[in-house]
C-alpha cells in the first residue's frame, strides 16, 4: 500500500520532541502573538485566521501565525478554504507543565490592568 500524497496545503509543524522552551517563549514575547494565544485559550477550540481582528497588515498577521506554528504553540490545518488554528495544549502542558496557563493568565491580568481588555 502506498502512502497518501502530501498536499501542498499541509503545513509543517515541529514534533512534540522538537518543541523548545526558548522558541515558545520567543513566540509568546510578541503582544500580537500573545493576544492570538489568549483568544485561542479562552475559546478552547480551533479558530480561523480570519476570526482574529489584529491591528496589523495581512502579511504581518500571517507572519505571527507562522511563528506560533513553527515554535509549536499552535497547530494549523486547512478546513476547506479556512486555515484553522488550535493551541497545542497537550504538547505544551506535557513538556512545560503550567507554562501556558501561567502566561495566559498573566497576560489577561496585564491587559485588564492596562485597560486593553
HEC profile of 41-63:
HHHCCCEEHHHCCCCCCHHHHHH
Sorted by sequence, the CB contacts under 8 Å of residue 96 that are 6+ apart come out as: 21, 24
Q: Which three cell numbers stand for residue 54?
A: 489584529
Measured distance between the N- and C-terminal CA atoms of the chain, rounded to whole angstroms: 53
Q: With cut-offs at 50, 70 and 90, classify the pLDDT of residue 25.
A: very high
Tens of pLDDT, residues 42-87: 987 899 998 999 999 999 999 999 999 999 999 999 999 899 999 9
The reported pLDDT for the residue numbered 96 is 97
Tell me the percentage of the chain whose pLDDT exceeds 70. 91
Q: With cut-offs at 50, 70 and 90, classify the pLDDT of residue 117.
A: low
For residue 105, pLDDT over 90 is answered with yes
Gap between the Cα atoms of 57 and 10, Å rounded: 24
45/93: higher pLDDT: 93
Q: Which three cell numbers stand for residue 35?
A: 493576544
Amino acid at each position: 500500500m502506498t502512502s497518501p500524497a502530501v498536499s501542498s496545503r499541509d503545513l509543517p509543524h515541529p514534533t512534540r520532541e522538537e518543541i523548545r522552551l526558548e522558541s515558545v517563549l520567543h513566540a509568546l514575547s510578541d503582544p500580537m502573538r500573545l493576544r492570538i494565544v489568549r483568544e485561542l485559550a479562552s475559546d478552547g477550540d480551533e479558530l480561523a485566521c480570519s476570526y482574529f481582528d489584529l491591528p496589523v497588515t495581512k502579511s504581518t498577521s500571517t507572519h505571527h501565525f507562522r511563528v506560533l506554528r513553527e515554535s509549536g504553540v499552535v497547530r494549523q490545518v486547512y478546513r476547506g478554504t479556512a486555515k484553522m488554528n488550535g493551541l497545542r495544549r497537550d504538547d505544551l502542558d506535557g513538556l512545560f507543565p503550567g507554562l501556558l496557563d501561567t502566561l495566559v493568565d498573566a497576560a489577561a491580568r496585564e491587559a485588564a490592568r492596562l485597560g486593553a481588555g
